[in-house]
Amino acid sequence: MPCKICKTKPVWKFTNKQQLCKTCFAEYFESKVKKTIRKYNMPINSINNKKNNLKVKVINSIIKELPERKGKVSEESLDDISSYILYIVMYGNEKELKNLMPKNQPLYFLSDKEILLYAKIKKIKGKLEENRDKKIAEINNFIERIEQKNPDIRQNIVNAMLN
């Protein structure tokens, strides 16, 4: 089944069976980042990248043409946020969930898989940093096992917190 928009070979398939080619996926990804920034009035400024972090490079490549807006920008993605949410629910104080509302994370609604694919399409080199906290790593592994049956689990976790 070809890309829904331009009828070429797809590289990404959504759970609703819609598929996108390289060009359409890159446009979708960039528009989703910009929409998140706009909707939540997030800061727009480049992030220092001392560790060759792929997420930082992706954010910087997308926001470079946007007008600067003061504030700290974070590189947390959907995978990070969903793991933190479960960690707080299981081990922390639920009042801490307010700290995970979208405020400075342009990649808030994008998974690590989407980030990797975008970086590959745009030829952005770097590494995804893994979380070093043992409990969060365990929660992330748990979510990955659930993803095999429910690919939208991370989005569902974040949406449950936002509603």
| Full 3-state SS string of 20-35 | ECHHHHHHHHHHHHHH
Question: pLDDT tens, 31-70?
Answer: 999 999 999 999 999 888 777 899 999 999 999 989 999 9
What are the sequence ranges of the domains in the chain? Answer: 27-162
Question: pLDDT tens, 60-69?
Answer: 999 998 999 9
Q: Which CATH number does 27-162 carry?
A: 3.40.50.620
The CA distances from residue 96 to 14, 86, 101, 154, in Å, are 31, 11, 10, 19
pTM for the model stands at 0.93
Long-range contacts of residues 86-92, Cβ cutoff 8 Å, at least 24 apart = 86/139, 86/142, 86/143, 86/157, 87/133, 87/135, 87/136, 87/139, 90/139, 91/135
